[in-house]
Structure 1
Amino acid sequence: MEQNETESVPLRAHPLALPTPTPVRWNRSTRARRVSLRIDPRAGEVVVTLPPRSSRRAGMALLNTHATWVKERLSSLAPAVPLLEGESVPLGGVPHVIRHDPTARGPAILWNGEIVVAGDKAFLTRRVGDFLRAEGKRRIGVLAAGHAAALGVRIRRITLKDTRSRWGSCAPDGTLAFSWRLVMAPDWVLDYVVAHEVAHLRELNHSDRFWAHVSRLTPHREAAQDWLRRHGPTLLRVG
């Protein structure tokens, strides 16, 4: 099992001129072979990963070398969107305003372009999150069933996760996993990701045969891949 040592340090403690005080997350990983640097768009953090024998000084050297890149990436992040009343959250690519109505039925429902949340306002954030996950699983389930029937394959089960780097995955046992955040993407983007993972039930690789199956299931491959590259990080800023 990989062992990680994680520590958050205010970036203002280091000689880097960034737009705002931003935390650096230091990870020490037994699997790392070199010092690496990335931006975590969900947390809005700079993440430095160190191999077991590398010093913090090596990480600082990498940060200083790529200070301009760090500043550009952080400044390009979309604003964080909390799941609060009055905020707008996309659903199927269409913005929906969160509205609290203590008299409404059910924990949360869709109504006239809004996500209407019932009950105590103290539970609004959790209920919106639960609603988005449930809606994501419903929509993914419908698409996956259709694509599986078209390919003549069987899905063992579908799970939803809150991943940071992969929108979907297919396990050898036939389990499909998806990021719940895909429910916020346009329907045709969601369709592509589901088709991609269902196609892995026939070909657990990225061979020409695999891509032929994907093309049979959906016409949106290139456009959806481009959309996820451009707009996927924005989905990670919600919630």
Structure 2
Amino acid sequence: MPLLPGPPPVEVQLRRSARARRFSLRVSRLDGQVTLTLPPRAKEREALSFLQDQEGWLRDVLARMPDSLPLMLQAGAEVPVLGQMLRITPAQLRGIRVEGTDLLVGGDPGRLATRIGAWLKILARDRLADASTRYADMIGRNYIKLVLRDTRSRWGSCSHDGVLMYSWRLAMAPIGVLEYVAAHEVAHLAQMNHSPAFWAVVSQIRPGWQAERDWLKRQGQQLHRYRFGD
């Protein structure tokens, strides 16, 4: 992934498109991700020259959306874990451990972000599997399997054949928000719609869900700002 030198440095995702006829830059309003699209046969050095020519425009766009700039994870930075902000602290241990307000991370200091991302995915799977099974038991339904993805447009989904999909970034949200998303998707096992009957199921298994849904609407997109090197 090319890096436009700072300050601050800007990561740029290169993408080739069979439909592209010229170079184009796009900045995601969701998380500030910068994408440079290339025609199929364009040379990468020409794309990087185009990027340099557009640097002034790009930085102007990014400056107007400070709340969406990506957050690079490094020692001393903070990352939310189940809604609690923890300080990333390199440590002499094999894995990752929460100690007070510190997230102790062992291993290669140069791979802190990657290790934290992998750890959050395991945490998300454990928490979401527990919540999904618990809520499914409450309504007498079963799901086939649970899948984790890094989705941008939705926090979860339920297929007609009973496959539950969740964003692993829910491991960063408050635990009640994670629980609400699990209850929401499990309720689709009984009602594959958003009818009053569906919301009645959600209310039955997760009373008070409205505040948790509101949190996602207000704060959810901030979880996409964190970069884990994956």
Shorter-chain TM-score: which interval? 0.7 to 0.9
How far apart, in 2, do the equivalents of 1:168 and 1:40 lie?
20
For residue 232 of structure 1, report the CA deviation from its aligned partner.
Answer: 1.0
- Residue 31 (structure 2) aligned to one of 42, 46, 56: 42
For residue 42 of structure 1, report the CA deviation from its aligned partner.
Answer: 2.4
- Counterpart amino acid of residue 76 in structure 2: G
Please, which runs of 5 or more residues in structure 2 have no aligned partner?
1-16, 37-59
- Residue 120 (structure 2) aligned to one of 116, 120, 132: 132
Aligned CA distance change for structure 1 residues 216 and 108 (closer, same or farther; 3 Å): same
- Residue 220 (structure 1) aligned to one of 192, 208, 212: 208
How far apart, in 2, do the equivalents of 1:78 and 1:42 lie?
5
- Counterpart amino acid of residue 210 in structure 2: E
What RMSD over aligned residues (CA atoms) do the two structures have, in Å?
A: 2.7
- Size of the aligned set, in residue pairs, is 188
Match of residue 154 from structure 1? 142
- Residue 210 (structure 1) aligned to one of 176, 190, 198: 198
How far apart, in 2, do the equivalents of 1:201 and 1:73 lie?
44
Deviations, residues 118-159 of structure 1 (Å, cap 9, x unaligned): 112122221111011111111111111110110111121111
- Counterpart amino acid of residue 81 in structure 1: L
- Residue 75 (structure 2) aligned to one of 76, 85, 89: 85
Aligned CA distance change for structure 1 residues 144 and 74 (closer, same or farther; 3 Å): farther
- Residue 195 (structure 1) aligned to one of 166, 169, 183: 183
Match of residue 120 from structure 1? 108
How far apart, in 1, do the equivalents of 2:166 and 2:18 lie?
25
For residue 197 of structure 1, report the CA deviation from its aligned partner.
Answer: 0.2
Match of residue 232 from structure 1? 220
How far apart, in 1, do the equivalents of 2:207 and 2:23 lie?
43
Aligned CA distance change for structure 1 residues 72 and 226 (closer, same or farther; 3 Å): farther
For residue 225 of structure 1, report the CA deviation from its aligned partner.
Answer: 2.0
* 1:41 and 1:77 in contact (8 A); partners too: no
For residue 177 of structure 1, report the CA deviation from its aligned partner.
Answer: 0.6
Match of residue 49 from structure 2? none
Considering Cα pairs closer than 8 Å and 6+ residues apart, tell me whether 1 or 2 has the greater RCO: 2
* 2:31 and 2:68 in contact (8 A); partners too: no
* 1:42 and 1:164 in contact (8 A); partners too: no
Using the aligned pairs only, state the percent identity.
34
* 2:32 and 2:62 in contact (8 A); partners too: no
Aligned CA distance change for structure 1 residues 76 and 142 (closer, same or farther; 3 Å): same
Match of residue 26 from structure 2? 24
Q: TM-score w.r.t. structure 1 length?
A: 0.71
- Counterpart amino acid of residue 206 in structure 1: H
Secondary structure, in 3 states, of the residue corresponding to 1:195?
helix
- Residue 174 (structure 2) aligned to one of 159, 166, 186: 186
Q: TM-score w.r.t. structure 2 length?
A: 0.73
Secondary structure, in 3 states, of the residue corresponding to 1:77?
helix
Please, which runs of 5 or more residues in structure 1 have no aligned partner?
10-22, 26-38, 48-69
* 1:192 and 1:220 in contact (8 A); partners too: no
- Counterpart amino acid of residue 183 in structure 2: A
